Each structure stands twice: as C-alpha cells, then as structure tokens.
Chains A and B, each alone.
Chain A
Amino acid sequence: GQNIDQPTEMTATEGAIVQINCTYQTSGFNGLFWYQQHAGEAPTFLSYNVLDGLEEKGRFSSFLSRSKGYSYLLLKELQMKDSASYLCAVMDSNYQLIWGAGTKLIIKP
C-alpha cells in the first residue's frame, strides 16, 4: 500500500532550527509537497520537490531523496508564528495526492 510517515509532534525553541522528516512509499512519484496548516485554517503551500536536492526559500528549505523515499523540511530562525502543523504529501503515478498525517510543531519561547 501507499504510505507517508512523519512524526506526530515536535517541539522546538524560538530562534532555533528544526527538521521535520517525511518518508514515503507510493506507487510512482510525481513530486512531494510540504504544506503549513495553522489551527483551524486551510493549509498553505510551502514547497514542491520533484528532483533530488535542497530547495531553499527564505527561512524554509526542503530536501528530497527519491532513492531513499525521504524528504525533510528545515525551518530556521524559528518564530512563534511557525507553530502549526506541517503536512507532507506525495503525488503518485496516477496524480493522486497521498497525504501524511501531519507534524504538529510547537514553538516555545
């Protein structure tokens, strides 16, 4: 079956760096997405990776290794507003989005 795994919850300190991992097993691969979701709100797009390597976008970076079925989202200079859930999603060969359960990130002062 198809599966996306990411930690349920993580805690980090304001100003620090945190890495959220995502491993996947899917029928084919057409890209991996990271989304941020604040409590009670719709998710917002953070990044898209389809080739191996690191994509940097401001304080957020996303890494992909297709051979390992692995991705991570790196958040630097953490701010309190970064407290949210982070969703990993993979588009499979049928262009269906397979979603992870999300990682709830708690930022402490």
Chain B
Amino acid sequence: GAVVSQHPSRVICKSGTSVKIECRSLDFQATTMFWYRQFPKQSLMLMATSNEGSKATYEQGVEKDKFLINHASLTLSTLTVTSAHPEDSSFYICSAREVGLGAGELFFGEGSRLTVL
C-alpha cells in the first residue's frame, strides 16, 4: 500500500529554537496533507490541512505564525514549530491523500515526537 514517511521520528530541542518536521508521500502524489497533534492519552487533534501550492487551512486555536506549514510539492509537506516552548512538546502526525482517489484513501505517517526542554 501507499507509504507516508515522517522525519524525524523523535526530536529534542531547546526552548526558543525552531524545529522542522517533514512529511513525504513515498509512492504517490498527495494534493492534501493533514497535520495532527496528539498529547499523551488524548485524541489526535487536527491542526491544519495542507494543500499543494496554496496556503494551509488552520483549525481554530492553532497559531499560523507558530506552526508554519509548507506544501511545496505533491510529495512533501513540512511543519515548522517556531520558537518552540515546553508546552509544544507533543506527538505530531501527518497524513496524506492520494491524487485521483476519492473515498477513504488517507495514509498516515509514523509520527514525530517533539520534546522541548
């Protein structure tokens, strides 16, 4: 089946630094990618929807200037957590939808665990 890869799987950074997380569709083209955040023992929360070649759509309460999303190609979307703080420590997961397929074809990355010290 289709594969979505996230990198890095784990990252530890100092408070105030920026961290970039990549989401790649390895064997298909994705017009839309979704970014989620998940705190321990809580549900996956959709942060934003990333559309290739256009601006991302952010969910209510998600700061656009803090969580920068770039979907520059049909196989790559990036999430940059700017000026990270300890409260940003979380599990971030992306998912991607394949071009040309409609119902239900949404594939997920492995997730990236961010720890901000």
Measured CB to CB, the residues of A under 8 A from B are 31, 33, 35, 37, 39-40, 42-43, 45, 48, 50, 84-85, 95-97, 99, 101-102, 104
Whether A39 pairs with B43 at a CB distance below 8 angstroms is: no
Residue of A nearest to B101 (CB): A40
Task: List the B side residues contacting A37 at CB < 8 Å.
Answer: 104, 106
Q: Would A96 and B110 be within 8 Å (CB), given that A33-B43, A40-B97, A42-B95 are in contact?
A: yes
Q: How far is the CB of B40 from chain A (nearest CB, A)?
A: 8
Whether A45 pairs with B93 at a CB distance below 8 angstroms is: no
CA distance in complex: A37, B113 (Å)? 24
Q: How far is the CB of A29 from chain B (nearest CB, A)?
A: 13
B91 interface residue (CB < 8 Å to A): yes
CA distance in complex: A39, B104 (Å)? 5
Whether B104 pairs with A102 at a CB distance below 8 angstroms is: yes
User: Knowing that A40-B103, A43-B44 are A-B contacts, what are 18 other residue pairs whose CB atoms are under 8 Å apart, sorted by A's residue number?
Assistant: A33-B43, A35-B44, A37-B104, A39-B103, A40-B97, A42-B95, A43-B106, A50-B41, A85-B104, A95-B40, A95-B111, A95-B113, A96-B9, A96-B111, A97-B108, A97-B110, A101-B1, A102-B104
Q: Would A97 and B93 be within 8 Å (CB), given that A37-B104, A42-B34 are in contact?
A: yes
